[in-house]
Amino acid sequence: MIAIVDYQAGNLASVRKAFDYLGAESAITSDPQEIARASKIVLPGVGNFEATTALSGALQEAIVRAIDRQIPLLGICLGMQWMFQSSQEAPQLRGLGLFPGECEKFPAAVKSPHVGWNQLRLRGDSRLLRGLSHDSFVYFTHSYRAPLVEATVGDCVYGGEFSAVVERGRLFGVQFHPEKSGPAGLQILRNFCEL
């Protein structure tokens, strides 16, 4: 069972719907015990980095323990940003620090938020992006972006380059919304299901 972690950050129904469509069993939950039993974990979320304060205490502990047990984790949008050390959006908070660096605002030269379909440039091997072609279009909607890091396997250009996909071992993060990215997005979720 795939646990979709509910921490009151936006609408999780569309992620659930995509897993239903792919025939994968999933549940929206904020119960640490249910997360502890999950075979995979998805951290979705949109909105302000401050929302990640709800990911503390027993909930955070359950996620960290699952990571230690090599349970695959996929962070989507805000969920991915939380996997970094911090964000300029809420500097007083810490992320999980699974990937180094701080998420930052877009430069003033471009409209923010970055909304719409942009291209994913593949860099290096990725299990999550298996079967995707270079420059596939995916749907973004975000005001802060994650830096390029060693684990960046896909980047995107909007007011400069940023991390669109990070991957290390069984840890995965995508800045865009695979559940809203048409066939390319469904391929990514299918790859995650098949891990």
Partner 1 sequence: MLTKRIIACLDVNGGRVVKGVQFSDLRDAGDPAELALTHARSGADEIVLLDISATYENRSTLLDVVRRTARELFIPFTVGGGIRSLDDAAAVFDAGADKVTVNSAALADPALIARIAHRYGSQAVILAIDALRISSGDGNDISFGVKATGGRQSTGRDAVKWAREAERQGAGEILLTSIDRDGTRGGFDCELTRAVVSAVNIPVIASGGAGTARDFVEVFHHGRADAALAASIFHLGITPIRALKQELLAAAIPMRWPC
Instruction: By CB under 8 A, name the binding residues for partner 1.
Output: 9-11, 13-14, 17-18, 21, 46-48, 111-119, 137, 139, 141-143, 157-158, 179-183, 185-186
Angle between helices 182-193 and 13-21 (to 10 degrees): 80
Q: Which of 142, 177, 193, 194 is catalytic?
A: 177
Closer residue to partner 1, CB minimum distance, 67 or 89: 89
Q: Which of 61, 77, 114, 142 is catalytic?
A: 77
Residue 78: which region, alpha, beta or left (left: phi > 0; alpha: psi -120 to 50)?
alpha
Closer residue to partner 1, CB minimum distance, 8 or 70: 8
Q: Is 57 buried (19+), middle (13-18) or exposed (0-12) by CB count in 10 A? A: exposed
- The answer to whether the beta carbons of residues 82 and 52 sit under 8 Å apart is yes
Closer residue to partner 1, CB minimum distance, 32 or 47: 47
Is 114 in the active site?
no
Question: Would you name the residues annotated as active-site residues?
Answer: 77, 177, 179
